[in-house]
Chains A and B, each alone.
Chain A
Amino acid sequence: MMLFEAAHVTLRFDGAAQPVLHDFSWSLGKGESWWVSGASGCGKTTLLRLIAGLLAPTGGRVERHARRVGVAFSDIRLVPHLDLVANLALVRPDLRRNPALQQRLEEDLLFLGLDAVRHLPARDLSKGQQQRAALLRALVIVPDLLLLDEAASGLDDDNWRNARELVRRYREKDPFALVEVSHNPQRLLGKSGVCNCLPLSSAPEASSGEHVSAGP
């Protein structure tokens, strides 16, 4: 089953001389892992926004079939005045009522080292804590598609390993598709098992799914 399909997609921002994506064709199947690579400005985040439904193509066709999309944004986007647990409950309202979910949340918070800061407003958390909280927010909705945009850039080695392990555990239980943008292939959060590589280029003619290759 395809979760996302792009056929000959062009995406050009208003006033831009060149399109970010040009004649881009690509599809994402259930449970697949993809690493999107490329130089800064080549359209990696734009592609994630297109997949998430935050952008519409200016040409071509896209189909989105994912029911629940979890996103860990590069600029985090926790609600600053809500505490960590309230931020999670915002996307998963039954979190406070469901004992099984609560139990799992307790374990996850402890595992990610967020237990002591659970009642702090998000604005008072460090960048690393906010990134881990944003990752957990994307996971607690039990996504069928997880989009990670430089989601581990502020994490030290130990926290990165824990975050990667948490993604693996969630995936083991409920195998969701994963698309990850990162400049560093050694620091992918979804790097377990087979991972496909989708290299994007800033040259419009190269921003095409035809250049997809099997990755690490």
Chain B
Amino acid sequence: MTVRPVLRQRLCNGLGVGALLLVWQYLSTVLHPVILPRPSATLGALVDLLFSGSFLLDVVLPSLTRAVSGLCLALAIGCSAGALAGYSQTVEAVLAPLKHLLLGLPASILIVLLILWLNGGNRLVICAVTVMLVPLFYLALLDGVRGLDRSLGEMAQVFRIPLWRRLTRIYSPALWHALRPALRLAIATSLRVTLLTEVLAGSDGLGQTVLLAQTYLETERLFALVLLILALIVGIERLFNLLLRIGRSS
């Protein structure tokens, strides 16, 4: 992409944001502030939140830690199971009912069940994120392994190339190609599931803060929290893309 199309794209993005703000501003003058606060009031509430002592440390950080922990756990479990199922149709058949169960159950039902079994806390949120994301990584790795070039596997066997070198030098690009879209989707999903679980379970963190703002009709604070959550998801995705670029250039 050359400089001009990038500039044009940024300009169009800016226009889109401006249009949304204008619609928001107009609607906020028509509707009651409890239903829809003004953008300026929301911005003020956001600044108050960010500079209110330990908000980032006590509210944002625990939620982020849970989301990242669940993501990492799901990555490890899903990739291992997906790789095994990719190599063995027996393993795939054994895991098929569990896969259908996890994919078929709505997130809210699954979380309610987990609340019943795990009774709140860090363990519940991390477990919910893990359970929701495992199928995503499982399917990605399953497809990735199935798509590997078997003839290169035979070549590696004949030349007695060790497993670690096969993984890193021969298979990693194909596996990464299969895993990358899943990882991108999982980043945003991990934060969504974390918040949903915190809201449903009443666990401390960003989700509970959202719930309290809604309960006490602090709509400006509620909208400020929504903006903050969006910024977090975009920020983490940008960080992921940056790490990818660094990985490619090194």
Which one of B158, B170, B173 contacts A53 once the chains associate, using CB atoms below 8 Å?
Answer: B158
CB contact under 8 A between A52 and B158, given known A75-B151, A77-B151, A93-B165: yes
Which one of A69, A70, A79 contacts B170 once the chains associate, using CB atoms below 8 Å?
Answer: A79
A81 and B173 within 8 A (CB)? yes
Interface footprint category on A: 10 to 19
Q: Give the CA-CA distance A67 to B110 in the complex, in Å.
A: 55
Interface of chain A residues 67 through 117 with chain B (CB within 8 A): 68-71, 73, 75, 77, 79, 81-82, 86, 90-91, 93
B217 contacts chain A at the CB level, 8 A cutoff: no
B159 contacts chain A at the CB level, 8 A cutoff: yes
Taking the closest CB of chain A, its distance from the CB of B203, in whole angstroms, is: 45
B245 contacts chain A at the CB level, 8 A cutoff: no
Cβ of B173: which chain A residues have Cβ within 8 Å of it?
Answer: 81
Q: Give the CA-CA distance A75 to B155 in the complex, in Å.
A: 11
Nearest opposing residue in chain B for A54, CB measure: B154
Indicate with 1 or 0, residue by residue over B165-182, a CB within 8 angstroms of chain A CB atoms.
Answer: 100011001000000000
A77 and B152 within 8 A (CB)? yes
Q: Give the CA-CA distance A54 to B160 in the complex, in Å.
A: 12
Which one of A70, A71, A90 contacts B161 once the chains associate, using CB atoms below 8 Å?
Answer: A90
A73 and B155 within 8 A (CB)? yes
Cβ of B65: which chain A residues have Cβ within 8 Å of it?
Answer: none
B169 and A79 within 8 A (CB)? yes
Taking the closest CB of chain A, its distance from the CB of B122, in whole angstroms, is: 41
Interface footprint category on B: 10 to 19
Indicate with 1 or 0, residue by residue over B137-168, a CB within 8 angstroms of chain A CB atoms.
Answer: 00000000000000110110111110001000
Taking the closest CB of chain A, its distance from the CB of B156, in whole angstroms, is: 8
Q: Give the CA-CA distance A137 to B152 in the complex, in Å.
A: 14
A141 contacts chain B at the CB level, 8 A cutoff: yes
Cβ of B170: which chain A residues have Cβ within 8 Å of it?
Answer: 79, 90
* Interface core residue of B152, B158, B160, B173 (most chain A CB under 10 Å): B158
Q: Give the CA-CA distance A48 to B165 in the complex, in Å.
A: 25
Cβ of B169: which chain A residues have Cβ within 8 Å of it?
Answer: 79, 82, 86, 90
Q: Give the CA-CA distance A70 to B152 in the complex, in Å.
A: 14
Cβ of B157: which chain A residues have Cβ within 8 Å of it?
Answer: 53-54
Q: Give the CA-CA distance A91 to B152 in the complex, in Å.
A: 12
Q: Give the CA-CA distance A86 to B168 in the complex, in Å.
A: 12
Q: Give the CA-CA distance A68 to B151 in the complex, in Å.
A: 19
Q: Give the CA-CA distance A77 to B150 in the complex, in Å.
A: 10
Taking the closest CB of chain B, its distance from the CB of A148, in whole angstroms, is: 13
Cβ of A69: which chain B residues have Cβ within 8 Å of it?
Answer: 158
B158 and A54 within 8 A (CB)? yes
Nearest opposing residue in chain B for A86, CB measure: B169
Cβ of A52: which chain B residues have Cβ within 8 Å of it?
Answer: 158
Nearest opposing residue in chain A for B166, CB measure: A90
Nearest opposing residue in chain B for A69, CB measure: B158
CB contact under 8 A between A141 and B165, given known A75-B151, A77-B151, A81-B173: no
Q: Give the CA-CA distance A7 to B179 in the complex, in Å.
A: 47
CB contact under 8 A between A91 and B154, given known A82-B169, A86-B169: no
Cβ of A90: which chain B residues have Cβ within 8 Å of it?
Answer: 159, 161, 165, 169-170
Taking the closest CB of chain B, its distance from the CB of A14, in whole angstroms, is: 15
Taking the closest CB of chain A, its distance from the CB of B151, in whole angstroms, is: 5
B161 and A91 within 8 A (CB)? yes
Nearest opposing residue in chain A for B154, CB measure: A54
Taking the closest CB of chain A, its distance from the CB of B250, in whole angstroms, is: 16
Cβ of B154: which chain A residues have Cβ within 8 Å of it?
Answer: 54, 77
Residues of A within 8 A of B (CB): 52-54, 68-71, 73, 75, 77, 79, 81-82, 86, 90-91, 93, 137, 141
Given contacts A54-B154, A71-B159, 4 further A-B contacts (CB under 8 A): A52-B158, A77-B155, A137-B159, A141-B159
The 8 closest A-B pairs by CB, nearest first: A77-B155, A91-B159, A71-B158, A52-B158, A79-B170, A81-B173, A77-B151, A54-B154
Residues of B within 8 A of A (CB): 151-152, 154-155, 157-161, 165, 169-170, 173
Would you give 22 A-B contacts (Cβ < 8 Å), ordered by A?
A53-B157, A53-B158, A54-B154, A68-B160, A69-B158, A71-B155, A71-B158, A73-B151, A73-B155, A75-B151, A77-B151, A77-B154, A77-B155, A79-B152, A79-B169, A82-B169, A86-B169, A90-B165, A90-B169, A90-B170, A91-B161, A137-B159
